[in-house]
């Protein structure tokens, strides 16, 4: 599940949160912002929060992991992503006082 999918599911399950799926930012804008942060970092001697290398490395990144070994050797049988997210959101909504929300 992507962050967008998770946000859309949360918005559907809990409309009272008024969640919206954010628009994507064009890569050229991200590179410009990262470049400005790098320049500012050089001037003030602090590390930049975002670099052009970060944009290049993580833009469009997809991480898919093979869990077949865990299934075969450990009997691991994970829940469907949608169910896991729903259960996590239900827990967080029921325990707002614990989470500080």
**Domain residues for 91?**
64-101
Query: First vs last Cα of the chain: how many Å apart?
Result: 24
Per-residue pLDDT of the chain (101 residues; tens, 9 = 90+): 888 889 999 999 999 989 998 888 899 999 999 999 999 999 999 999 999 999 988 887 777 889 999 999 999 999 998 999 999 999 988 888 776 65
| Number of domain units in the chain | 2
Task: Say what the pTM is.
Answer: 0.58
Same domain (yes/no): 28, 58: yes
Q: Is the residue at 14 inside a domain?
A: no
Burial 1-10 (b: 16+ CB within 10 A, else e): eeeeebbebb
């Amino acid at each position: 599940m992507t962050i967008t999918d998770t946000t859309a599911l949360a918005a559907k399950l809990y409309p009272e949160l008024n969640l919206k799926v954010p628009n994507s930012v064009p890569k050229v804008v991200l590179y410009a912002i990262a470049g400005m942060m790098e320049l500012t970092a050089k001037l003030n001697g602090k590390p930049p929060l975002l670099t052009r290398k970060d944009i290049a490395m993580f833009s469009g990144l997809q991480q898919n992991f093979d869990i077949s070994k865990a299934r075969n050797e450990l009997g691991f049988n994970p829940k469907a992503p949608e169910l896991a997210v729903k259960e996590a959101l239900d827990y967080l909504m029921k325990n707002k006082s614990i989470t500080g929300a």
